[in-house]
A and B are shown apart, each in its own frame.
Chain A
């Protein structure tokens, strides 16, 4: 018999790196220099902060390039990066570097922002805690998923894959282990970056409950 699914949750403590960017060139320098936890923070924190809004705001780099520097074409390049295709932060960082280097080498304007609107590089420290919930079957899994915080959902869908180097989200991995290959693949195919966490929760619960009833 397969082991049950142990739910975890996570919390972030935000660190300020004391590093700012005033133009795309400095943004490039910063992206190259900051720790991976900073790339992670700037591309993921909005998922948890704006869970009641739809559509989601873009990642911080895209937001700054578009809303502050008004470099809309470059900003849209950042905005449209398919984060779900990048399996680790270094490959994501490389993509940002290539976009900015191409932009600058092709004569893109290295516009300054107004004073007070600099990009401030932040990073985060993550605390992972076990929750007192274990699901032993699909029905239990759906019940628990309804009551855990969105941080728990977030941890299992994003954190594990992007920062812990596991190949798939935690839910799909467990489902495969209990012979639910089809359901696992269905969840893997979701693009969690393009929906609110509450929508994501509802979608997964619907899939699991559908499978229980079938």
Chain B
């Protein structure tokens, strides 16, 4: 056999061996994977937080080790399940790349990574101060405006809190007037214009409002102003067309209001179900929990019944301390807007200092009660424990 043939045969044999080896590796690797299970993508992580990974393998004994990395820095080599490590991410919620590399005993490795979410915080002064706006109504749903601090109790995660400041709220309010201008509003749009326009007239000179017009797109028709004529002109210029994107409108309005200080409220009018939002309902509810904005929802038309459409507006309202109204005809809108105006003018502001020690991003329940018999108190239901993010 010539030398050339030997070389050729060796080459073929080498290739064969390589493919056998590769096939064996494929068998051994089959089902071998790793996943970072805690935290998950876009989680907010602060302080000491558990990082965990699960490794899938047909035979658990083939797992040699799991290496945990945070931003490319090796933080732990774990050789035994459960694969986990407690890591201190510091006080600020930052973007961290958390990676787990699982090593097969035969030298193969698989990787999984997640990225946490950064929140840019402004000043952290007075981070413990929580401001709540409370609306109190009697059994006939009329606002009660003669209560004292001692008539109230604030509970945080079931523990009573000392009220530091209390007053009837007289400071200006910032309002977002959201008008559903989807095609289905066509029949009633004139009455809507009239009722919303009258609502503008209830604002005090120092109050400000903006007009947001939404169908499947969301447009700011009038930015924040105290000019009643401009607000009314914006309201009456809206024209019904297209489908309905309530959640998109709420989402965009929250963003618009984020930079506004002080007491804020959204007055949302819609005649129906969300049909075209990209934003999910849960996301907007989450946002309403995070922001200190009162939501007043007005459901117009007979189609609400007691079903999920009603619950959407109720959820927004109850989470934030606002209120949901449902009317059958546009002619009734005037009195609803008047009730909202009355409530906004007769609110109480209560401040307390939270005693939570663990700023871990979890939800903190807050409840405002009154000792006055027969009254009902509405206020936001809580906040997320992130430093600098308490409602104030």
To the question of whether A and B form a pair in one complex, the answer is no
**Chain B interfacial positions (CB closer than 8 Å to A):** none
**Chain A interfacial positions (CB closer than 8 Å to B):** none
